[in-house]
Amino acid sequence: MDSLLKQHLIDPEICIRCYTCEETCPIDAITHNDDNVVVDADKCNYCMDCIAPCPTGSIDNWRLVTKSYSIEQQFEWQELPDQEDLGDADSGALNEALDKEISDLLEHAHSGTGGKPIAPESAAQPSINLYSTSKPAIATVQGNYRLTDEDAPTDVRHLILNFGETVFPILEGQSIGVVPPTNNTSGANPIRLYSVSSPRDGEKQNANNIALTVKREEHGACSNYLCNLTKGDLVEVSGPFGGTFLMPNDPNSNIIMICTGTGSAPFRAFTERRRRAAPGAPGKLMLFFGARTPAELPYFGPLNKLSSDLLEKHLVFSRLENEPKEYVQDRMTAHAEAICTLLKNEKTHMYICGLKGMEQGVEDALEEACFHHSLTWSDVKQNMRSSGRYHVETY
């Protein structure tokens, strides 16, 4: 009998073609053409690095096959094929043994990365993939405000989108997708994802609207499209996406939030949710937020107005004149004791969002902090991760 393979496949009906998996794959086993994003069975080694970053879950599909589907076959698919009939092997001991071997392999791969991310236990159930790029929700621009100073070198905007009568349920920590209209010369634009920066009950409470935090990138097709929108413009929106980077509903939860620049978007949503739904909650909110200067820190004014009872703020600047460069991880080291006190509490959640580059620095700071406070960061992280209390979203 031919040998069996558990083949890793991407569901073309759910995939939003954001190419995050392709960018994440360390061995270039994922590729795409104009139609589909596919996994090359000859290269995939089940490392699982691509699973967590996928915003839709389309990446997590498997078929037991006697002969793997080629990438050319996968490029043609409109939908995933059914599990093939494996005949005798289907019910045979060999199949079972192989399945077990493969699941052990997958388990091993997960344990190396700390396990598949899971949502906080008390998080609300998210709605996912209600709208696609081919069947988008249409939102109307309600406002577009500059968040950074007029003379600051970065243009970061607070964009408010109203869904009118369209149902678009979205939780803090989830993202939406936008495809900018094509200009005829450059072909189709890929989808871009933005975290909502408003809480679940709307940017304005009980209004059917959301807010986004968008930084204008010099050659960014989508960021320029969004940053140039004016009141009344219509935008095609897909999503909601993301089922794990969610806020715990439990008001006893402590939440440590670490971000740079526009990575602050979900934390504005978390903070506003706590302020509206449980303002006197026993759980502590602690924010470490890095930007170059106050003029470039999104929401600097409003953040400063929030009471320290609601949010312990650490606004950290890397390019202040006549001041040494400070990154979020430096400030965390300075507050190692307070952080470790929270880490010893099973109700503490940690979220990291923003520049990929800060991840290692934050890891190192946490490792050192734990070392000096009778904790082992790798154990703490593993425990938090497996109980849905540790989340990273960096780009």
The residue ranges that bind ligand NAP (CB under 6 A) are: 194-195, 213-215, 260-263, 265, 290-292, 318-319, 327-329, 353-355, 357-358, 361, 393, 395
CB closer to ligand NAP out of 136 and 263: 263
Rounded to a whole number of angstroms, the minimum distance from the CB of residue 39 to ligand NAP is 25
Q: Residue 349 and residue 354: Cα distance in Å, rounded?
A: 17
* Contact of 192 with 214, CB cutoff 8 Å: no
Rounded to a whole number of angstroms, the minimum distance from the CB of residue 370 to ligand NAP is 19
> What are 189's two structure tokens?
């634009």
CB closer to ligand NAP out of 244 and 260: 260
CB closer to ligand NAP out of 100 and 325: 325
Rounded to a whole number of angstroms, the minimum distance from the CB of residue 37 to ligand NAP is 20
* Contact of 199 with 276, CB cutoff 8 Å: yes
Q: Return the CA Rg of the chain.
A: 22
CB closer to ligand NAP out of 58 and 260: 260
Rounded to a whole number of angstroms, the minimum distance from the CB of residue 158 to ligand NAP is 11
Rounded to a whole number of angstroms, the minimum distance from the CB of residue 329 to ligand NAP is 6
Rounded to a whole number of angstroms, the minimum distance from the CB of residue 101 to ligand NAP is 38
CB closer to ligand NAP out of 163 and 351: 351
Q: Which amino acid is it at 166? A: T
CB closer to ligand NAP out of 265 and 285: 265
Residue appearing with tokens 């969002």: 353
Contacts 24+ apart (CB under 8 A), 360-365: 361/327, 361/328, 361/329, 362/258, 362/328, 362/329, 362/332, 364/329, 365/329, 365/330, 365/332, 365/333, 365/336
Alpha helices in 175-277 (DSSP H): 221-227, 265-277
Residues 6+ apart with CB under 8 A from 45: 27, 29
CB closer to ligand NAP out of 253 and 329: 329
Residue closest to ligand NAP, measured at CB? 261
Q: Which amino acid is it at 390? A: Y
> What are 394's two structure tokens?
């960096």
- Name the nearest CA neighbour of 139 among 192, 175, 193, 176: 176
> What are 265's two structure tokens?
């978007």
CB closer to ligand NAP out of 136 and 354: 354
* Contact of 245 with 351, CB cutoff 8 Å: yes
Rounded to a whole number of angstroms, the minimum distance from the CB of residue 16 to ligand NAP is 16
Rounded to a whole number of angstroms, the minimum distance from the CB of residue 182 to ligand NAP is 22
Could you count the other beta carbons within 10 Å of the beta carbon of residue 186? 8
